[in-house]
Structure 1
Amino acid sequence: MSDAPYAVVTGGGTSGHVLPALAVAEGLVARGHDPSTIHYAGCERGIETRLLPDTPFPHHFYDVDGFQRSLSKRNLSFVPKMWRARREAIERFRPAPPKVVVSVGGYASMPSVFAARKLGIPVVVVSYDLKPGRASQVAAKRAAACAVAFPDSPLPRATRTGAPVRRSILDVDRVADRSAARAELGLPDDRFVVAIMGGSQGSGVLNEAVWSWLDRVGDDATLAIRHAVGERFIERAPDARNGADGVLYQPIGYEPRMPLVYAAADVLVGRGGASTVHEVAATGTPAVLVPWAASADDHQTLNVRWLADDGAAVMLPESDVARLGDVLDELRGDDARRDELARRAAEAGEVHRSGALARLVESVADGTD
Structure 2
Amino acid sequence: MTTTDASGAGPTWAIIAGGGTAGHVLPGLAVGRELVRRGHDPASIHFVGAERGIEVRLVPEAGFGLTVLPGRGIERTVSLQNVVAVLGLVSALWKAIVLVRRRRPAVVLALGGFASAACAIAAVLWRVPLVVADQNARAGAANKLVARFAAASAVPFEETDLPKAVVTGNPVREEILAVGADRDRAGARAELGLPEDRTVVVAFAGSLGSRRLNTALYGAVERWADRDDLAVHHVIGSRDWEDRPDLARGAGLGDGAGEGGAAEGATGLVYQPVRYQDRMDLVLAAADLAVCRAGGTTVAELAVVGVPAVLVPLPIATRDHQTANAGPLVRAGAAVLVADDELDTDRLVAEVERLLGGGGGGLTAMGAAARSVGRPDAAAAVADLVERAASGERGGSGGR
**TM-score grouping bracket, smaller chain normalisation:** over 0.9
Say how many residue pairs are matched.
369
Who is 1:290 aligned against? 312
2:200 maps to which residue? 193
Match of 1:239 in 2: 249
Of the candidates 315, 331, 335, which is equivalent to residue 355 of structure 2?
Answer: 331
Matches within 5 A, 1:65-104: 65-104=72-111
The structural deviation recorded for 1:71 is: 4.2
Contact 2:96 2:118 in 1 (8 A): yes
Q: What is the aligned partner in structure 2 of residue 167 from structure 1?
A: 174
- Partner residue of 2:291? 269
Report if the CA contact (8 A) 1:198-1:230 is conserved: yes
Give the equivalent residue in structure 1 for 2:254.
none
Give the Cα separation in 2 of the matches to 1:135 and 1:232: 27
Mapped partners of 1:44, 1:137: distance in 2 = 23
**Structure 1 counterpart of 2:31:** 24
Q: Is 1:346 aligned with 2:371? A: yes
Q: What one-letter code is carried by the residue in structure 2 that aligns with 1:285?
A: V
Q: Answer whether contact 1:161 1:351 (CA < 8 A) is retained.
A: no
Secondary structure at 1:233 match in 2: coil
Q: Using the alignment, how far apart are the partners of 1:122 and 1:354 within structure 2?
A: 19
Partner of 1:60: 67
Gaps of 5+ in 1: none
Structure 2 stretches lacking a partner, 5+ long = 251-256, 395-400
Offset of residue 80 of structure 1: 1.4
User: For 1:80 and 1:208, how far apart are their aligned partners in 2?
Assistant: 38
Q: Which residue of 2 aligns with 1:316?
A: 338
Match of residue 253, structure 1, among 239, 258, 275: 275
Alignment of 1:121-132 (within 5 A): 121-132=128-139
Q: 2:56 & 2:140 partners in 1: Cα distance?
A: 23
Mean Cα deviation higher: 104-113 or 341-350: 104-113
1:263, distance to aligned residue in structure 2 (A): 0.5
Whether the aligned pair in 1 keeps the contact of 2:70 and 2:92 (CA below 8 Å) is yes
Q: Give the CA deviation at 1:249.
A: 1.9
Partner amino acid, structure 2, of 1:312: A
Aligned: 1:210 with 2:217: yes
Q: Counterpart in 1 of 2:14? A: 7
Cα RMSD of the aligned pairs, angstroms, is 1.8
Could you give the per-residue CA deviations for residues 252-302 of structure 1, whole angstroms, max 9, x where no partner exists?
Answer: 222211111111111111101111111111111111111112211111111
**What are the Cα deviations for residues 2-58 of structure 1, in whole angstroms up to 9, with x where unaligned?**
533111111111111111121221221222222222111111111222322311111
Structure 2 residue aligned with 1:43, among 43, 50, 59? 50
Shift of 1:150: 0.9
1:86 alignment partner AA: L
* Aligned counterpart, 2:328: 306
**What SS does the aligned partner of 2:326 have?**
helix
Alpha-carbon distance in structure 2 between the residues aligned to 1:22 and 1:40: 9
Quote how far apart the aligned CAs of 1:336 are.
2.2
- The whole-number CA distance in structure 2 between the counterparts of 1:294 and 1:152 is 20
State the Cα distance separating 1:108 from its structure 2 match: 2.8
Q: Distance in 1 between matches of 2:159 and 2:326?
A: 17
Output the CA distance in 2 between the equivalents of 1:290 and 1:85: 34
TM-score w.r.t. structure 2 length? Answer: 0.88
Between 24-33 and 254-263, report the one with greater CA deviation. Answer: 24-33
> Residue 204 of structure 2 aligns to which amino acid in structure 1?
M
CA contact (8 A) 2:117 2:143 kept: no
Question: Contact 1:291 / 1:300 at 8 angstroms: preserved in 2?
Answer: yes
* Pairing partner for 1:115 from 110, 116, 122: 122
1:360 is aligned to: 385
Distance 1:132 1:173 in 2: 27
User: Who is 2:253 aligned against?
Assistant: none
